[in-house]
């Protein structure tokens, strides 16, 4: 039987950066629905909005992120100034059982000031240090760029999950992202792994959709896991950012909810395998 939340905590929290420098690939939708999917499986989950646009914060129901008193930029500024962060500071609780550290436009200003900061790649890691004892999974919704905030997310993560829209140009941009991941692994975070490539907004009914699927699996499948589960295109999924709920509440019987349930199981199985390997190495 898979370990429940409590068993997991003592061993290790898995931090996953959901990253792609291209916008519109389904990062935020994936972060929200994978997070809530994990919570539905009994896991303790923290979502972190690491994008100054605040898309995750807005789509989870906090429609005015600029009015929130404490956000990720507040916490990262404290880390930069060597101030302590009380447990749970700035954490919002969502009705569907996940916690959120929100973001707003202040994060863009903070990214600029990171440039002159000592140990600048590791500020987000410092912010999350205390939270790792509280959660089974921490999911980071990254900004659509390869700037300092994304590097901070990669430095703080155990693995990266890469949503890729099933289109030719999205597939081409992957190479640059993988080079950044390799660079972070070499210079900052040698333990960083790639969780997998997730094909989003797929349409298996068209030849074009099938061709892109085959292209990505053919080009990358031998060296990187490409999730078996793909996320289909759906109007219902596009609506969830306006209603502040996950796909599981908005359209529980739909094909997208089914796809995210299946992805959740794949991610949990990966994390459990990884924890087992770490435990065996530690013996």
Q: What is the pLDDT of residue 170?
A: 64
pLDDT band at residue 283, thresholds of 50, 70 and 90?
low
Residue pLDDT, tens place only, 71-123: 999 999 999 999 999 989 999 999 999 999 999 999 999 988 988 888 899 99
> The tokens of 27 are what?
């990062």
Range among 98-102, 194-198, 234-238 rated most confident: 98-102
Q: What is the pLDDT of residue 126?
A: 94
Q: What is the pLDDT of residue 213?
A: 85
pLDDT band at residue 5, thresholds of 50, 70 and 90?
very low
Is pLDDT of 134 > 70?
Answer: yes
Q: How many Å apart are CA 257 and CA 236, to the nearest integer?
A: 10
Output the CA–CA distances (angstroms, integers) from residue 56 to 9, 47, 76, 241, 275, in the order listed: 25, 9, 18, 8, 28
C-beta neighbour count of 280 within 10 angstroms: 8
User: Which helix (H) or strand (E) covers residue 18, if one does?
Assistant: strand 14-18
Q: CB under 8 Å, gap of 24 or more: what pairs does 78-85 form? A: 78/127, 79/123, 79/124, 79/126, 79/127, 80/113, 80/114, 80/117, 80/123, 85/127, 85/130
Residue pLDDT, tens place only, 160-179: 999 998 776 666 778 889 99
Is pLDDT of 180 > 50?
Answer: yes
Q: Which CATH architecture has domain 14-282?
A: 3-Layer(aba) Sandwich (3.40)
Q: How many Å apart are CA 107 and CA 158, to the nearest integer?
A: 23
Delimit the domains of the chain by residue range: 14-282
Is pLDDT of 7 > 50?
Answer: no
């Amino acid at each position: 039987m898979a370990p429940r939340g409590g068993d997991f905590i003592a061993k290790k929290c898995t931090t996953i950066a959901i990253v792609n420098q291209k916008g519109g690939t389904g990062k935020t939708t994936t972060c929200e629905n994978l997070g809530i999917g994990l919570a539905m499986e009994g896991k303790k989950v923290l979502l972190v909005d690491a994008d100054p646009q605040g898309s995750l914060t807005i789509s989870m129901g906090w429609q005015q992120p600029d009015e929130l008193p404490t956000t990720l930029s507040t916490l990262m500024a404290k880390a930069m100034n060597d101030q302590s962060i009380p447990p749970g500071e700035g954490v919002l609780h969502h009705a569907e059982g996940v916690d959120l550290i929100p973001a707003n436009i202040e994060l863009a200003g903070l990214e600029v000031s990171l440039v002159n900061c000592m140990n600048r790649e590791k500020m987000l890691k410092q912010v999350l240090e205390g939270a790792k004892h509280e959660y089974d999974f921490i999911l980071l919704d990254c900004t659509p760029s390869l700037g300092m905030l994304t590097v901070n997310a990669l430095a703080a993560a155990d693995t990266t999950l890469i949503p890729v829209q099933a289109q030719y140009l999205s597939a081409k941009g992957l190479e640059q992202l993988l080079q950044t991941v390799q660079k972070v692994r070499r210079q900052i975070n040698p333990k960083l792994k790639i969780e997998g490539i997730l094909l989003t907004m797929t349409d298996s009914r068209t030849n074009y959709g099938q061709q892109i699927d085959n292209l990505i699996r053919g080009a990358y499948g031998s060296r990187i896991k490409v999730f078996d589960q793909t996320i289909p295109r759906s109007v219902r999924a596009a609506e969830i950012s306006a209603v502040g709920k996950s796909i599981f509440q908005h359209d529980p019987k739909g094909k997208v909810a089914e796809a995210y349930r299946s992805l959740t199981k794949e991610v949990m199985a990966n994390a459990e395998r990884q924890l087992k390997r770490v435990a065996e190495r530690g013996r």
